[in-house]
Amino acid sequence: MKKYCIVNGDDFGVSSGTNRGILEAHRVGILTSTSLMVDMPAAEEAARLSTSAPDMSVGIHVTLTHENCAPLIDFSSPGECRAELNRQWDRFIALMGKPPTHIDAHHNTHREALLAPHFIAWAANHQLPLRENSPVKYFSSFYGQWDGETHPEQISVASICEMLAAEIGIGFTELSCHPGYADPEFQTEYSQERETELKTLCDPRVRQALIALEIELISYNDLNSLIPESLCRSA
């Protein structure tokens, strides 16, 4: 009957600035896990850098959409969907030399009605936790932009401490984040917010709040020892 929190940095591999921020958030801050985008320009760099952080679990951030959310494949084609999932799996193995520790998706496409059955079957086949389809609760409100406007107050130290107190209960929770540094080679509307997230995640007051709230930080590497049953089973 304990409170466990996985802090997962999405978009590993999207740019050198993001890679650098994720590694810093792990070494200095509270980040315990990340998800790799295997086809992005800095994916090889991310895989190489991950060897210097053996305690950081690395999952696969399946990418089936462009940055504007337009589909990269035909979602209505089961064969094409399955083939693309398997291709990205093989690419992850080629980069990392081992399987991912967990599965999630860019723009949360694993929620799409046409794609969800493929993701669920794929995760079950590999016996890996799929975001929102495992004993790990997903919490995504640590994000500093909506309706085209920036909201730095949402990703401040005060805000994350309030979130930890209100949202991290008994059991397992994944808090997703997007730390990083602005990178001229990667143009994105979510740039300054990444740096704000990074500063917040590395602030010692956040770790102090975790201790006060008796929340234990873990990574997806730790789940096998903490949850003996299949991780693919819904919570």
For 3-226, CATH gives: 3.20.20.370
Query: Does the pLDDT of residue 48 top 70, yes or no?
Result: yes
Pairing between β-strand 149-150 and β-strand 145-146 as defined by DSSP bridges? antiparallel
Q: What is the 3-state secondary structure (H, E, C) of 29-52?
A: CCCCEEEECCCCCCHHHHHHHHCC
Taking residues 53-57, report their average pLDDT. Answer: 96
Q: What is the 3-state secondary structure (H, E, C) of 148-210?
A: CEECHHHHCHHHHHHHHHHHCCCEEEEEEECCCCCECCECCCCCHHHHHHHHHHCCHHHHHHH
Taking residues 18-43, report their average pLDDT. Answer: 97
Q: What is the pLDDT of residue 150?
A: 93
Least confident of 36-50, 93-107, 176-190: 176-190
Neighbours of 175 (CB within 10 A): 26
Taking residues 38-62, report their average pLDDT. Answer: 97
Domain positions in the chain are 3-226
Q: What is the pLDDT of residue 228?
A: 58
Query: Does the pLDDT of residue 230 top 90, yes or no?
Result: no
Q: Whole-number mean pLDDT of the chain?
A: 93
> Tens of pLDDT along 119-166?
999 999 999 999 999 999 999 999 999 988 999 999 999 999 999 999
Query: Does the pLDDT of residue 20 top 60, yes or no?
Result: yes
pTM: 0.93
Query: Does the pLDDT of residue 202 top 70, yes or no?
Result: yes
Among candidates 85, 79, 142, which has minimal Cα distance to 109? 85
Least confident of 35-44, 151-160, 216-225: 216-225
Q: How far apart are CA 153 and CA 209, in angstroms?
A: 18
Question: Is residue 120 within a helix (H) or strand (E), and if so which, with residue range?
Answer: helix 116-126
Neighbours of 160 (CB within 10 A): 25
Taking residues 6-32, report their average pLDDT. Answer: 97
Handedness of CA 169, 172, 173, 178 (dihedral sign): positive
Residue 135 neighbours by CB under 8 Å, 6+ apart: 129, 171, 172, 227, 231, 233, 234, 235
Taking residues 67-95, report their average pLDDT. Answer: 94
Query: Does the pLDDT of residue 235 top 70, yes or no?
Result: no
Among candidates 35, 32, 33, 30, which has minimal Cα distance to 157? 30
* Contact present, 191 and 67 (Cβ < 8 Å): no
Least confident of 69-83, 144-158, 220-234: 220-234
Residue 174 neighbours by CB under 8 Å, 6+ apart: 5, 6, 7, 8, 33, 131, 136, 137, 138, 139
Taking residues 217-235, report their average pLDDT. Answer: 71
